[in-house]
Structure 1
Amino acid sequence: MSPYHHGDLRRAILTAALDVIATDGPSALSLRDLARRAGVSHAAPAHHFRDRTGLLTAIAAEGHGLLAEELAGTTDLRDAGARYVRFARQHPAHFQVMFTPNLLHTDDLELTTARALSGAALTDALAPTAPTGDDPHARYARLAVWSLAHGFATLLLGHNLDRLLGDEDPEEVLRELPMFLLPPA
């Protein structure tokens, strides 16, 4: 074991944590176990993450950044919803952690910045069809679209839609959901 000479310990710990979360959930995380997986001393992860909550906060911040990238350049509400589901499918561990505030340092600057970016990307996706400003209808439209995409993605990741979807592409199914909020493209 090489306690202090690791190429990119932060990334190695994040990657190992994402693997654990994807298979066993966030409750299975242990900094000591992650250090062992990375081949470093048990104290080494603390140099990058104060504690387990700090590690989960870093994962959530990274996830929000990835979600903002995924949503950038959406063409309409259907596209935004499909991209949201694609993000959840491609980054299930991030997705699990991002929306569980009791696991996070919610006032962390990196996290609040990344959340603002992903929120702005979702708002931008709604801009062509939703009312603007602080109008309650604009807020409700954003809430409804996010709820639909997030609920669908959560059900999908939990394998609750397997029988209903069969072999259908979940992103295409979401695009076709007959919702008044999702006008034709």
Structure 2
Amino acid sequence: MSDGYHHGDLRRALLDEASQMIDEVGPSSLSLRELARRAGVSHGAPAHHFGDRRGLLTALAAHGLRMLAADVGAATAGGFDEAAVAYVRFAREHRGHYAVMYRPELLHADDGELSSARAASMEALMAGVESIPAERRAHLTASEAAHVAWSLVHGLASLAAEGPTPAPQADDLARRAARQLFA
């Protein structure tokens, strides 16, 4: 629980607190009133910034997708296997964000920022796949390879976020599976 809001970026503070709450209680138990209480602001502050609960979750998902795109994009220099590790690590370290990023029933599907953030995260993943030598993925189109790669890392990330695989093992498994996928 935070000690209350004490700085200039209330929107960001609310997103951070919402992520922490979701990590603790899940997205279905998140309430704007409890979020406001934990952030130390008026009960109307979250609604002022996000409109409603779905708006808050949409903003949180977009924020998470942008962070994921940055993490995966930065790791791509090390090849697809390091991009895969970055994806899995993100899910483990940002469970609150990850818990809502791929849950359309919780989000405003037509939100422009969400669409833009989704595109950015897919571009980062595509860059990781494109770092694989073409002969190692010759049996797939770039789009198919990206879909297969996303399936692999998303499955491993979901397991890592749920906690059954210890962090070092999850990272190592992601790295080795990514190498094997396009061997």
TM-score by length of structure 1 reads 0.84
Q: Which position in structure 1 is the counterpart of 2:96?
A: 93
Name the structure where helix makes up a greater proportion of residues: 2
Quick check: 1:150 aligned with 2:150?
Answer: no
Q: What amino acid is the match of 2:9?
A: D
State the number of aligned residues.
Answer: 172
Question: Structure 1: which amino acid aligns with 2:142?
Answer: A
Deviations 1:34-75 (A, max 9, x none): 111222221121110110000000100000110111011413
Q: CA deviation at 1:6?
A: 6.6
What value does the CA root-mean-square deviation take over the aligned residues?
A: 2.2
Is it true that 1:18 corresponds to 2:19 in the alignment?
yes
Number of the residue aligned with 1:63: 64
Where structure 1 has 5 or more consecutive residues not aligned to the other structure, the ranges are none
Percent identity of paired positions between Structure 1 and Structure 2: 48
TM-score, with normalisation over the residues of structure 2? 0.84
Number of the residue aligned with 2:3: none
Q: Residues 111-154 of structure 1: CA distance to partner in whole angstroms, max 9, x if unpaired?
A: 111111111011111113376xxx96322211111111110111
Q: How far 1:158 moved relative to its partner?
A: 1.7
Which residues of structure 2 form unaligned runs of 5+? 1-5
Paired position in structure 2 for 1:37: 38
Which residue pairs with 1:108 in the alignment? 111
| Structure 1 CA distance for aligned equivalents of residues 24 and 39 of structure 2 | 17
3-state SS of paired residue (2:181)? coil
Which residue identity lines up with residue 153 of structure 1 in the other structure?
A
One-letter code of the match for 2:33? Answer: R
Letter in 2 for 1:155: L
- Residue 165 of structure 2 corresponds to which residue in structure 1? 161
Q: 1:83 to 1:168 in 2, by over 3 A?
A: closer
Q: For the residues of structure 2 that align with 1:47 and 1:30, how far apart are their CA atoms?
A: 14
Counterpart residue type for residue 92 of structure 2: R
1:175 is aligned to 175
**Residues 1:9 and 2:13 aligned together:** no
Query: Contact 1:22–1:92 at 8 Å: present in 2 too?
Result: yes
One-letter identity of the residue aligned with 1:141: A
Change in Cα spacing, 1:178 to 1:77, as seen in structure 2 (3 Å) is: closer
Equivalent position of 1:82 in the other structure: 85
